[in-house]
Amino acid sequence: MNWYGVKAIYIHEMERFRRTLFQSLASPIITTSLYFVVFGSAIGSRITEIDGINYGSYIVPGMIMLTILTQSISNASFAFYFPRFTNTIYEILAAPLSSFEIVLGFVGAAASKSLIIGCVIILTANFFVDVRIDHPLLMMFFLILTSITFALFGFIIGMYAEGFEGLQIIPILIITPLVFLGGSFYSINMLPEFWQKISLLNPVLYLISGFRYSFYEVSDVSLFTSTLTILTILIGCIIFITYTFSKGYKIKD
């Protein structure tokens, strides 16, 4: 295991995060504040509680998951696509690093950035509502696993993207709608029976539901199903990246 190579990639990516620290942290803080103003105040005045939880507190896990998913994907996809764009990827491929070590460096940095931003959102939310975390270890488990999984997914996007526009298509057109329709700001039990069944086809629902359980012990689906879903996506991403590296498609071409 070439830990020096992994460390070099990791530190390089985290240093880039440090240089844009204000923008990286200011954006989620402002966005979180706006969500509380719009959803917490406007909608919260009409929906006071869901499953016995204050509406403002109820939407906190959904907001965190929305940010974690988009940030993990964006950070990992840009981090790997940029060396491809500047043709410096060949220097990384020529280094004595295995595909696992390359992925570990990029994905580790992207996941670390997302975890930092997730913690910032939790702290910001405490200024607006009372945030209760009934199962801190379970919360960290979902937070870390989701960050790593979608950083891997973002890495895949970075490998296959044809341009900078391609980096934004999936996060904006697919991930964000899935998060909004996955029970981020409501319980699917509030929907008609037909739409409840449709919502169960949304994989993001299971991530948000499991994450919310770690906060308030309420969920739309079982904790086992939520855990199984995130592990399935994680394994799928690992298999896909392994196959792509073995073929060299979009990397060595």
Query: Is 252 a domain residue?
Result: no
Q: Please give the Cα distance from 120 to 220 (Å, whole number).
A: 26
Query: Is 101 a domain residue?
Result: yes
Q: Please give the Cα distance from 194 to 214 (Å, whole number).
A: 27
Pick from 208, 204, 103, 201: nearest CA to 154: 103
Query: How confident is the model at residue 43, as a pLDDT?
Result: 65
Domain range enclosing 186: 3-247
Query: Is 149 a domain residue?
Result: yes
Pick from 44, 61, 47, 63: nearest CA to 217: 61
Query: Is 215 a domain residue?
Result: yes
> Using the 8-state DSSP alphabet, how is residue 54 labeled?
E
Measured torsion, CA atoms of residues 34, 39, 42, 47, in degrees rounded to the nearest 10: -160
Phi/psi of residue 97, nearest 5 degrees: -125, 135
In the chain, beta strands by DSSP E: 49-50, 53-54
User: Which tokens belong to 39?
Assistant: 């959803």
Query: How confident is the model at residue 250, as a pLDDT?
Result: 58
Taking the alpha carbons at both ends of the chain, their separation in whole angstroms is 26
Query: How confident is the model at residue 147, as a pLDDT?
Result: 92
Query: Is 163 a domain residue?
Result: yes
Query: Is 253 a domain residue?
Result: no
Q: Please give the Cα distance from 32 to 74 (Å, whole number).
A: 18
Contact 114, 68 (CB under 8 A): yes
If one counts the domains in the chain, the total is 1
Q: Around Cβ 43, how many Cβ atoms within 10 Å? A: 14
Mean pLDDT for each consecutive 10-residue tract of the chain (253 residues)?
Answer: 78 80 76 73 67 82 87 85 76 77 87 88 83 90 92 87 76 82 82 85 89 89 90 90 72 54
Query: Is 158 a domain residue?
Result: yes
Phi/psi of residue 50, nearest 5 degrees: -130, 125
Query: How confident is the model at residue 140, as a pLDDT?
Result: 92
Query: Is 143 a domain residue?
Result: yes
Pick from 46, 44, 45: nearest CA to 56: 44
The structure tokens 């907001």 sit at 63
